[in-house]
């Protein structure tokens, strides 16, 4: 749409000192004639556009020009403010200052006292928060990072990656990055990253289109259907971990959950965390594995 193109053009011209009409045409995939019409439209809207001819010429915007809140509808202003307040919950550096500036630009009178989000874990320390700040910096500035990483099998390995974005998925922060060891994009859970180090080396890489956001756990293991039976006493936890569509309740009040898991040691530890309140219905072979694991645990309490 023309309006969206005009807005993008303004932001582009503010960011760059000068741009040729051909560069604008290539960027927006339109003809030079369309770009010239857009420039006339912006000029008539009192946007201080200037054009210079010659080898070093091009299209620019006056350095003193600032974006006016009139460019955004009331609904768009509210969406921007809501998004920044949500981002503020991540406690990433500079968001507070940016929010103050946008608040002043929009002269917002809306109170956000009703909204409070805290993504930090209980007892999280300043060192942990610093890790997220480093990851943010690495993504924005395209810095290669290296770190020790704990897999779901509790194995520690060294990784050197090119981080391209931070992802909030299933109540946890992840780093999507190109892993030089795996030679592919991977998703690393931030809480399992230790000894993070920013390298002086930078990279140039874009996220491939259609890149699926999957964790190493999801990519490494075959997912197997499970049927689990839970007692009422643990039902409060079920709604934290499973979708309601996965659950049914029988006449006696027992919950039956149908869910796909990877058959690994993590699953055994996870099911043991429910104690006596869970029973495996399917697959049958998993019952024997749980019995063997429980015997190992009992050795610590003989």
Residues 144 and 189 in one domain: yes
pLDDT of amino acid 108: 55
Measured CA to CA, the distance from residue 12 to residue 38 in angstroms comes to: 13
Residues 40 and 86 in one domain: no
Residues 90 and 57 in one domain: no
Domain count, the chain: 4
Residue 294 lies in a domain: yes
| Domain end marker among 219, 241, 257 | 219
pLDDT of amino acid 21: 86
pTM: 0.48
Residue 121 lies in a domain: no
Residues 274 and 230 in one domain: yes
Residues 139 and 209 in one domain: yes
Residues 160 and 204 in one domain: yes
Residue 117 lies in a domain: no
Residues 78 and 148 in one domain: no
Residue 265 lies in a domain: yes
* CATH code of the domain covering residue 41: 1.10.10.10
* CATH code of the domain covering residue 205: 2.30.30
Residues 232 and 292 in one domain: yes
* CATH code of the domain covering residue 236: 3.30.70
Residues 172 and 232 in one domain: no
Residues 193 and 226 in one domain: no
Measured CA to CA, the distance from residue 276 to residue 282 in angstroms comes to: 17
pLDDT of amino acid 277: 93
| Domain end marker among 161, 184, 219 | 219
Residues 13 and 51 in one domain: yes
Residues 203 and 230 in one domain: no
Residue 120 lies in a domain: no
Residue 115 lies in a domain: no
* pLDDT tens track, the chain, 302 positions: 566 677 778 777 776 768 888 888 888 888 888 888 888 887 777 777 878 877 777 888 776 655 554 456 666 666 666 666 655 655 555 555 555 555 655 555 555 555 555 555 544 566 777 788 888 889 888 999 999 998 766 678 899 999 998 887 766 788 999 999 888 888 888 888 889 999 999 998 877 776 555 555 555 667 889 999 999 898 888 887 888 888 999 999 999 999 988 888 888 888 999 999 999 999 999 999 999 999 998 988 87
Residue 272 lies in a domain: yes
Residue 102 lies in a domain: yes
| Domain end marker among 219, 242, 272 | 219
pLDDT of amino acid 248: 92
Range of the domain at 286: 221-301
């Amino acid at each position: 749409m023309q309006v969206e193109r005009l807005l993008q053009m303004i932001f582009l011209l503010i960011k760059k000192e000068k741009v040729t009409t051909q560069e604008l045409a290539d960027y927006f995939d339109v003809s030079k004639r369309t770009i010239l019409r857009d420039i006339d439209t912006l000029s008539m809207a009192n946007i201080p556009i200037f054009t210079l001819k010659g080898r070093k010429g091009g299209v620019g915007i006056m350095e003193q020009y600032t974006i006016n809140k009139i460019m955004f509808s009331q609904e768009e202003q509210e969406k921007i403010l809501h998004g920044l307040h949500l981002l503020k919950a991540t406690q990433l550096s500079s968001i507070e200052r940016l929010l103050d500036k946008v608040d002043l630009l929009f002269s917002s009178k809306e109170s956000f006292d009703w909204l409070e989000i805290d993504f930090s874990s209980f007892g999280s320390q300043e060192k942990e928060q610093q890790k997220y700040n480093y990851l943010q910096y690495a993504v924005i500035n395209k810095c290669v990072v290296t770190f020790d990483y704990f897999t779901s099998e509790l194995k520690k390995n060294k990784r050197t990656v090119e981080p391209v974005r931070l992802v909030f998925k299933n109540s946890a922060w992840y780093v999507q990055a190109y892993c030089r060891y795996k030679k592919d994009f991977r998703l690393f859970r931030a809480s399992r990253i230790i000894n993070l180090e920013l390298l002086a080396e930078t990279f140039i890489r874009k996220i491939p289109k259609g890149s699926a956001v999957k964790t190493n756990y999801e990519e490494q293991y075959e997912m197997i259907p499970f049927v689990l039976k839970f007692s009422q006493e643990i039902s409060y936890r079920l709604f934290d971990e499973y979708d309601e569509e996965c659950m049914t309740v029988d006449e006696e009040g027992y919950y039956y959950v149908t869910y796909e898991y990877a058959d690994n040691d993590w699953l055994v530890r996870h099911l043991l965390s429910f104690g006596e309140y869970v029973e495996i219905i399917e697959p049958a072979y998993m019952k024997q594995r749980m019995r063997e694991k429980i015997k190992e645990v009992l050795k610590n309490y003989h």
